[in-house]
Chains A and B, each alone.
Chain A
């Protein structure tokens, strides 16, 4: 199994520890992933801004970089969703189809492809999940509250298998955090307010470690947690599952 790690641009520059934890976690689960150095971005920021045409060369570059792999794994559901769903704009060559079907969010890959249901480890903290919309509603990694009251999902299960962990229950289980890519800049006021409300829900319900599968939402929430100087750590789920932190 030839696996590549796709590290989104902002994770590469600002959260290298998330890339490292992803790589190490995969290794612990028996997968040796490579990091193709030519990778840049999936083109999502441009496409979501209405500049899909300008993103096409980025898509092609992505395909060139990753089409040789059986799986491309990223610690970010939204990039994966973008590759799977919006690369339909390219001519559907075998290479394009390959990268579209091989793109996996890290947690989805661990659950679906590797079939792992439990992670050995201990994490004795009150952990609050941030369900990112693209992973949840786009890739169906967790139940949607619009459809069912049952709170279940890949990340919830994996984290739940750690010893000593306690998952907090939020008032609004799966509301968007308001990051939304360029939305956080073009609609800064609403974006900030949404983030503040998300953080407040976690605060109210006793979260001491805020986590999720998509670093972009977490970057936004972390920015708010730090501005408010709250005693809450924000960690990507890979960091917790990898056992790099306790």
Chain B
């Protein structure tokens, strides 16, 4: 199934689409307000972009520096080439502690690596502790947004889920009541957890520490209660110095939700006395992307989700229409790197309007990369054959002024003389499902121009 098919399904529910669009636009508008209030915001973007470019150009050096520092701090460092290794390493650490109960917070990477099913099938109970993530975990769904994983759900959907799994009253939709139920439910999990897994927003090479930004504080609760903390990070999370961090914390929350800063910005540098801290550093396709000069900049992403909130396609098609861990415009340039065939329709799920590139706090040229992916996919024959052939034919037509004139005339007269029921038939012409065709004029411009020339000559 391609993006268009999944998107058509989502947009088929007009009311839900309106609601989804308006909710995310509200977040985009909040972002605008927060951004306008910082006069140097564009300079910050430029600075962040340069820091990330620089880091990526010396990633090996910074990774080594980070590892060295972290080890000096008493942290265990693990390297994972792919998802399978990542999952195996984490399971191994959990088993070494004879643990069976795990809490998890703020990690798209473990989502990307499908850690949960792996742990569950090995008898480990793993609970996502962020509210949104817990909701979709109970529903056995994937997140539909980077920052707002359950944004595709209305409070009625959540009420139904909690009725089924947490024993709230049927029909309960009061967010206060629902949140409280989740809180009580999670509290028991926090207290029982032996191991806490967290994501990483930034890893500082200079200090060997990792930084996690949250609003709910669940990462901190989990990490501080459990005996073992496992932080999982992609290799692209590095920044060189602690002093660089301020640039990114100023950009992240403003871009994500319009907050000046996230409620919690927690630094984890070393394990507390008697406890253990592990960091799993994961590649999983990232060095491959690093090796593609046209797409390298996609690794600068700090996962703020702003490109999703602003994307007019995402807002109307929902995150699941992308069928990839990272949806939206950024997902559409990350996913073909992982599986070109499976995700071949995603770079086409855009009008190339460029809003994503303008909103991106680290200045990733997202829409330019979408355009470039289209060429790569076209060359690799990963676009529909019908499209390929019609484009080839069009190519011929458009290099010959004569054939072009005739073709245009045929099209114009075709519309004029064919019955409306045919030109506007759904199956022949998807344009006409929602739009009228232009009314063909008597004369084309070139005919008019020629006539003018003749009369004045």
| A residues whose Cβ falls under 8 Å from a Cβ of B | 7, 9-17, 19-20, 35, 37-41, 43, 45-55, 57-58, 60-61, 86, 133-134, 137-138, 144-149, 172, 174-176, 178-197, 219-220, 222-224, 226-227
Contact = CB atoms under 8 A, between A and B. Distances in A.
A187 B349 contact: yes
B371 interface: yes
A56 to B, nearest CB: 9
Q: Which 9 A-B pairs have the closest CB atoms?
A: A223-B435, A180-B351, A50-B378, A192-B434, A176-B353, A50-B374, A19-B445, A133-B353, A146-B358
A175 B374 CA distance: 23
A194 B353 CA distance: 12
A21 to B, nearest CB: 10
A172 B412 contact: no
Select the residue from B3, B42, B434 with max chain A CB neighbours within 10 A.
B434
Select the residue from A10, A13, A47 with max chain B CB neighbours within 10 A.
A13
A162 B378 CA distance: 46
Given A145-B32, A223-B436, A55 B395 contact: yes
Interface size class of B (residues with CB under 8 A): 35 or more
A54 B7 CA distance: 29
Nearest to A22: B445
Select the residue from B17, B42, B355 with max chain A CB neighbours within 10 A.
B355
A86 B316 CA distance: 29
Interface string B323-355: 000000000000000000000000111111111
Contacts of B359: 146
Interface stretch (B194-202, B285-293, B397-405): B397-405
A48 B352 contact: yes
Contacts of A181: 351
B347 to A, nearest CB: 8
A175 B358 contact: no
Contacts of A52: 375, 378
B316 A190 contact: yes
Interface in B275-322: 310, 312-313, 316-317
Contacts of B374: 48-50
Given A35-B446, A189-B7, A13 B391 contact: no
Contacts of B350: 180, 183
Nearest to B379: A53
B242 interface: no
Contact of A53 (B32, B42, B378): B378
Contacts of A86: 371
Contact of A227 (B371, B436, B440): B436
Nearest to A34: B449
A19 B446 CA distance: 9
Main secondary structure of the interface of A (DSSP, over half): helix
Given A187-B7, A227-B436, 12 more contacts: A47-B375, A61-B399, A133-B352, A144-B355, A146-B32, A149-B36, A175-B312, A184-B431, A186-B4, A188-B431, A190-B8, A222-B436
Interface in B374-393: 374-375, 377-379, 383, 387-388, 391-392
A154 to B, nearest CB: 17
Contacts of B353: 133, 137, 176, 180
A42 B416 CA distance: 26
22 contacts: A12-B408, A13-B409, A16-B447, A19-B445, A35-B449, A40-B398, A48-B371, A49-B374, A51-B378, A51-B392, A61-B399, A133-B351, A149-B32, A186-B348, A187-B313, A190-B317, A192-B435, A193-B11, A195-B435, A222-B436, A224-B435, A226-B435
Interface string B2-28: 011001100110000100010001000
A174 B32 CA distance: 13
Select the residue from B35, B312, B371 with max chain A CB neighbours within 10 A.
B312
B437 to A, nearest CB: 7
Contact of B351 (A10, A16, A20, A179): A179
A14 B441 CA distance: 6
B28 to A, nearest CB: 9
Select the residue from A17, A41, A146 with max chain B CB neighbours within 10 A.
A146
B245 to A, nearest CB: 24
Nearest to B384: A186
A138 B430 CA distance: 28
A195 B392 CA distance: 29
A146 B435 contact: no
B11 A58 contact: no
A49 B347 CA distance: 10
A191 B450 CA distance: 36
B1 interface: no
Given A11-B445, A183-B350, A193-B316, A176 B4 contact: no
A152 B313 CA distance: 25
A185 B348 contact: no
